[in-house]
Amino acid sequence: MAASDNSRGPAQLVLTASIARRYYLDGRSKIEIAEEFALSRFKVARLLDDARNSGLVRIEIGFPGTVDVELSARLMDALRLRHCVVTDTPDDHPASLREHLGSAAADLLSEVITGEDVLGLSWARSVSAMVSALRRLPPVPVIQLTGALARPDVDDSSIELVRDVARISGGPAYFFYAPLAVPDATTARVLRGQPEVAQAFARIGSVTRAVVGVGAWEPEQSTVFDATGEAERQELAQQGVIADVSGTLVDVHGEVVRAGLTDRTIAITAEQMRAIPEVIGIVYGLPKARAVLASVRAGLVNSLVTHSTLATALIEAAE
């Protein structure tokens, strides 16, 4: 509470401050305060309103941790998200951001998921960080949404993520051994028909919550981009692709781009992703701002876990 106001006398100022202290700090009711100061409760209510309107009392909503509550609420409103968690991580180093966001996403998932849910997972470094931080879940089924993308700089894949989460939850795991992208559409059709792939994909319609990463169509900002050849990257960029979500390509307007890569991908489709009630995207790095907006506009992501720098950029871009 502030201690000065030149528009009223000191007696009135002290009275107002005393009443505000009783109400906001001591938790006293308006009736109790009215009896103590021999005032009507209507007079107490007017003095409390005056204390707030004059700036004598300033109310701030905060959380003593890594979550920026105000920025989370602003971003949730700006993008009309179902859930939004923004961490106030001071370090913008990718490894540090992944660790903090992974922990925040694990807390969010543990809070919102229930025994009635079915969980879908796509591989991403950020999703892997969430799984590493995850400690508890109800016994829900866990379904692999994308094929594996072998990379020399990572130790896990979508298969390991599904298995690890299923071990934590104690629920059944539905996974398959297939790459995310194959050389041609014919091979992709054959693989989708394999029993374990077909079994997992047949359950995608039952998924109620999914956790995914969002890639920007730039070097080192998308595992799909990094796994394609230079000619295909340029061709897709010319088609307007700026983002990928679980193998689905998106342009700046939020339109899904159908390309040859789409037919070679072993992954959840855009239509299936849009049908999932909640898709949580864990995203970090300023270069992904346009990609995140496009993914939200496309209806592929409707909840976010991100950091303050990117959140601020997203709010500014959405205005």
112 and 25 together in one domain: no
Q: What range does the domain containing 289 cover?
A: 69-318
Q: Do 161 and 121 contact (CB within 8 A), yes or no?
A: yes
Please work out, in degrees rounded to the nearest 5, the angle formed at the alpha carbon of residue 262 by the alpha carbons of 258 and 263: 115
| Alpha-carbon gap, residue 44 to 18, rounded angstroms | 11
pLDDT in tens, 201-246: 999 999 999 999 999 998 888 888 887 889 999 999 999 999 999 9
| pLDDT per residue as tens digits for the range 97-125 | 888 999 999 999 999 999 999 999 998 88
Rounded to the nearest angstrom, the gap between the alpha carbon of residue 65 and the centroid of all alpha carbons in its chain is 17
What does pTM read for this prediction? 0.79
Please check whether residue 259 is in contact with residue 240, taking contact to mean a CB–CB distance below 8 angstroms: no
pLDDT of res. 61: 61
Residues with pLDDT less than 70, the chain: 1-8, 10, 60-65, 90-91, 150-156
Is residue 305, in this structure, part of any structural domain at all? Answer: yes
Give the integer Cα–Cα distance in Å for 188 and 260: 11
Indicate whether 249 belongs to any domain.
yes
Residue 245 has φ and ψ, to the nearest 5°, of -130, 110
- What's the pLDDT at 85? 93
* CATH code for the domain in which residue 20 is found: 1.10.10
Is 77 in the same domain as 45? no
Counting residues of the chain whose pLDDT is more than 90, the rounded percentage is 67
pLDDT score recorded for residue 2? 41
Residues facing residue 216 across a β-bridge? 243
In this structure, which amino acid lies at residue 89?
Answer: T
CA angle 271, 206, 134 (to 5 degrees): 100
Which among 37, 41, 5, 43 is positioned nearest to 18, based on CA atoms?
Answer: 37
How many domains are contained in the chain?
2
